[in-house]
Amino acid sequence: AEGTIYLALLKMNYKESYTHEITASDSEGTNLNSNDSNIPVINTGIVKSRALLPSATSRIPEAVIINLSDYHIKLLEKRYEINGEKAYYLSENFLICHTNIPPKKKLNILTRVINNISNKYDGADLKTKMDTKSALQKEYVDRKSFDVEEIGNKLFGKSPEKKSEFDEKMEQYDLQYDNFTVTNENTVKKLEKQFMVTDSGIEISIPMETYNKLANFEVQTDVTGKSTIIIRNIDNLVLK
């Protein structure tokens, strides 16, 4: 609106590139226009710098426009990995603000937090991690919605340490008491499969329905922490 005052912040990330470096060294010489015979020698060279600002024609990757009347914010930002977890640093750590998060992003946040906690505390216990994902999918099938507080209780209620971290992470996104639905079924399709990648690059994708039938699927972990996956009752195998 006319007369409204805004504050704009442009975040320009340093880039790595080559630039000129100018140095001066003392040397004996003759200056025809001066009585001073100690004339510095100017040297120029090319050096690699890691702290150059982007060029004038570069696109600004992140920016903030703040309405100083009502403090509404328009935001352009990117995710960065911080302490092993990808997060929106600009809004979450610098501005300490939250947006109206769409259901798809809420689900991404929820599954990411659950996976990170499971990987952190369950380590090589593949079965426990897979059971956690199965429990999340079952919650959606039963309720057709995601009740964040109830999911936290169901998945981590028996572990105060896990539950505390879950609550803390969800509170960062102001989602700790959220209950949301996802209208696009394609958004929740990732919950319908257990997807694993071994350290040797083998990819395994198992429908959740198959995983939940314990007679068809089993994960064994030996004393060294190595896992063995057993799939039973295969009538036909097709190479794709």
Query: Are 117 and 44 in a shared domain?
Result: no
**H/E element holding 127?**
helix 126-143
Query: Are 174 and 112 in a shared domain?
Result: yes
Instruction: Give residue 86's pLDDT.
Output: 75
Query: Are 113 and 46 in a shared domain?
Result: no
Instruction: Give residue 216's pLDDT.
Output: 78
Residue 84 lies in a domain: no
The beta strands (E) that lie in the chain are given as: 6-11, 15-25, 41-52, 62-67, 73-76, 80-82, 85-87, 146-147, 179-180, 193-197, 203-207, 217-221, 227-231
Q: What average pLDDT does the segment 123-134 reach?
A: 84
pLDDT interval class at 159 (50, 70, 90)? very high
pLDDT over threshold 50, residue 60 = yes
pLDDT interval class at 89 (50, 70, 90)? confident
| C-alpha–C-alpha distance, residues 98 and 90, integer Å | 11
Percent of the residues in the chain that have a pLDDT greater than 70, as a whole number: 94
Choose from 84-98, 105-119, 205-219 the range with maximum mean pLDDT: 105-119
Range of the domain at 105: 101-240
Query: Are 47 and 105 in a shared domain?
Result: no
The beta strands (E) that lie in 26-141 are given as: 41-52, 62-67, 73-76, 80-82, 85-87
**In terms of C-beta distances under 8 Å and separation of at least 24 residues, what long-range contacts does 30-36 make, across chains too?**
none
| C-alpha–C-alpha distance, residues 181 and 145, integer Å | 4
| C-alpha–C-alpha distance, residues 209 and 213, integer Å | 7
Residue 46 lies in a domain: yes
Query: Are 108 and 188 in a shared domain?
Result: yes
Query: Are 45 and 105 in a shared domain?
Result: no
pLDDT over threshold 80, residue 161 = yes
Query: Are 222 and 119 in a shared domain?
Result: yes
pLDDT over threshold 70, residue 28 = no
pLDDT interval class at 32 (50, 70, 90)? very low
* Weakest-pLDDT range from 29-33, 70-74, 111-115, 139-143: 29-33
Instruction: Give residue 30's pLDDT.
Output: 47
Closest CA relative to residue 73, chosen from 89, 96, 93: 96
Query: Are 150 and 34 in a shared domain?
Result: no
Residue 75 lies in a domain: no
pLDDT over threshold 70, residue 34 = no
Query: Are 117 and 198 in a shared domain?
Result: yes
Residue 4 lies in a domain: no
pLDDT over threshold 70, residue 1 = no
| C-alpha–C-alpha distance, residues 210 and 231, integer Å | 9
**H/E element holding 168?**
helix 160-172
Residue 141 lies in a domain: yes
Full-model pTM:
0.59
Instruction: Give residue 5's pLDDT.
Output: 94
Instruction: Give residue 27's pLDDT.
Output: 59
Single-letter code of the amino acid located at 95: L
Residue 3 lies in a domain: no
3-class DSSP state of 240: coil
Percent of the residues in the chain that have a pLDDT greater than 90, as a whole number: 23
Query: Are 48 and 107 in a shared domain?
Result: no
pLDDT over threshold 90, residue 66 = yes
Residue 173 burial (10 A CB sphere; 0-12, 13-18, 19+): buried
* Weakest-pLDDT range from 79-93, 175-189, 191-205: 79-93
Number of domains observed in the structure of the chain: 2
Q: What average pLDDT does the segment 194-198 reach?
A: 86
Q: Which residues contact 72 (CB under 8 A, 6 or more apart)?
A: 66
Residue 106 lies in a domain: yes
